[in-house]
């Protein structure tokens, strides 16, 4: 079982990686840095969700960068909604909808606030592609450091940075997954694609 200090160190590395991503002015270069950094963490870090037997040879599949899937959009008002996600490890994880972003040509995604200690903006994504994890992926999860930058008036939502949650790799992890307001009817073959692992 992963211990608290390993998880803490993982989060430090994730936050540092996203700080480098935000500091790089070329999104395609930032994406390469991110893909390389994520691969190293998933393969080598003690807190990786990749099962031990699969780590040494594990390489995530990341789609080539597509500039058409990078959006800088206003977070529009949305009717208040609360989601309470029960988990066996963290109890009930509460989220409050704080807005919605429109991604031209694709549809809209709800923007959530993690309404518990620490807080954070959360934008999960589920799409129609058979190449992505069926449970969905995360684009932003700022409480864990996955933050592409921006403001309410101009939030960076770059689907090339969509990544698999820990539960995609192992049932030891429990993850809040996208609801209907974070489901796109079209395929989004960007970011991390689903690579089944056995360990």
- pLDDT digits over 49-94, tens only? 999 999 988 989 999 999 999 999 999 999 999 999 887 777 788 9
- Let me know if residue 9 belongs to a domain: yes
Find the mean pLDDT for residues 84-112: 91
**Torsion over CA: 30, 36, 37, 39 (sign):** positive
Helix and strand numbers (H, E) in the chain are 2, 9
CA dihedral sign, ordered 104, 175, 146, 191: negative
Angle at 128 between CA 103 and CA 164, to 5 degrees: 85
> Is residue 129 domain-resident?
yes
| pLDDT score recorded for residue 89 | 72
- pTM for the whole structure: 0.95
Q: Could you list the residue range(s) of the whole structural domain that residue 134 is in?
A: 4-193
Question: Domain for residue 168, yes or no?
Answer: yes
Extended strands (E) in 63-179: 70-73, 82-87, 91-103, 107-114, 121-125, 137-141, 155-158
73 lies in some domain: yes
The count of residues in the chain is: 199
Tell me the average pLDDT across 141-163.
Answer: 97
Give a yes or no: residue 198 inside a domain: no
Does 199 reside within a domain?
no
Q: Is residue 136 part of a domain?
A: yes
Tell me what pLDDT residue 76 has. Answer: 98
Start-to-end CA distance of the chain, whole Å, equals 14
| pLDDT score of 23 | 98
Structural domains of the chain, count: 1
């Amino acid at each position: 079982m992963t211990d608290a200090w390993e998880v803490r160190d993982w989060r430090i590395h994730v936050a540092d990686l996203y700080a480098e991503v935000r500091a790089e002015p070329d999104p395609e270069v930032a994406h390469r840095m991110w893909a390389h950094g994520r691969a190293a963490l998933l393969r080598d870090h003690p807190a990786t969700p990749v099962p031990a037997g699969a780590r040494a040879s594990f390489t995530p599949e990341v789609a080539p960068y597509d500039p058409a899937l990078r959006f800088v959009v206003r977070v529009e008002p949305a009717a208040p909604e609360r989601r309470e996600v029960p988990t066996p490890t963290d109890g009930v994880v509460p989220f409050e909808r704080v807005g919605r972003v429109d991604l031209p040509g694709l549809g809209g995604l709800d923007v959530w606030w993690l309404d518990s200690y620490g807080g954070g903006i959360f934008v999960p994504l589920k799409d129609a592609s058979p190449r992505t994890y069926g449970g969905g992926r995360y684009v932003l999860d700022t409480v864990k450091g996955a933050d592409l930058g921006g403001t309410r008036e101009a939030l960076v939502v770059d689907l090339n940075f969509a990544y698999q949650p820990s539960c995609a790799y192992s049932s030891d992890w429990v993850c809040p997954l996208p609801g209907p307001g974070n489901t796109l009817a079209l395929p989004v073959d960007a970011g991390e694609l689903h690579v089944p692992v056995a360990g």
